[in-house]
Structure 1
């Protein structure tokens, strides 16, 4: 019955600031075919799936902190090499929690976006 996770949506408060993070810092490709919704937002490609940014000032999902907490609600993006993500974050001066030898069996890297949404990037462990 269920085929795949089509997209994850996160609430942001400042679209330009969020686009700098997701597009410039992380290097995600913005999709040009977002419908003309009556609110601002942006869609990004992650492999065959999508990440949707939604501007919603009254949202109840904003954490109110940029503190990195891997146990808080988050979504994970599988990457070829978490070290590549770490290099992009280092170049931008962005804080993260890097766990190359995680007990999960893969390399995990946690970060928050400008609104405090928690993201996990994971890849095979480095040998």
Structure 2
């Protein structure tokens, strides 16, 4: 029997690494860490978890449409303040769709259309 004991990373395909780095580093303010692989990409550390950006210049993500539903493949990240996150994303001209469940969460997309859920598990200050 396979016994899963933890999680390591999620790989996200992007078509333009520089544009993705701008989003993940500056809009989401994630901590970029060193990587020792010989193909284009970037890694980000969040606690014990990593997001691995992998560049494929031919990548086209036409499956996710946040205007129709938040039920899409996505990465979910915990945040401290939902209102601050929403304002930062709107200032960066990102799509923002509040969770239809009523819980304190929103959905956005990176420049390639990969969906990201931001959830505040603690009440906003």
Normalised TM-score (structure 2) = 0.82
List alignment gaps of at least 5 residues for structure 2. Answer: none
Give the alignment's Cα RMSD to 1 decimal: 2.2
Gaps of at least 5 residues in structure 1 are none
> Which residues of 2 match residues 31-42 of structure 1 at below 5 A?
31=33, 33-37=34-38, 39-42=39-42
Offset of residue 66 of structure 1: 6.6
2:62 alignment counterpart: 64
Measured in 2, the distance between the counterparts of 1:48 and 1:41 equals 19
Alignment of 1:1-127 (within 5 A): 1-31=3-33, 33-37=34-38, 39-58=39-58, 62-64=60-62, 67-68=65-66, 69-99=69-99, 102-103=101-102, 106-124=103-121, 126=123
Q: How many residues align?
A: 120
TM-score norm. by structure 1 comes to 0.81
CA drift at 1:21: 0.7
Cα 1:74–1:21 change in 2 (3 A) is same
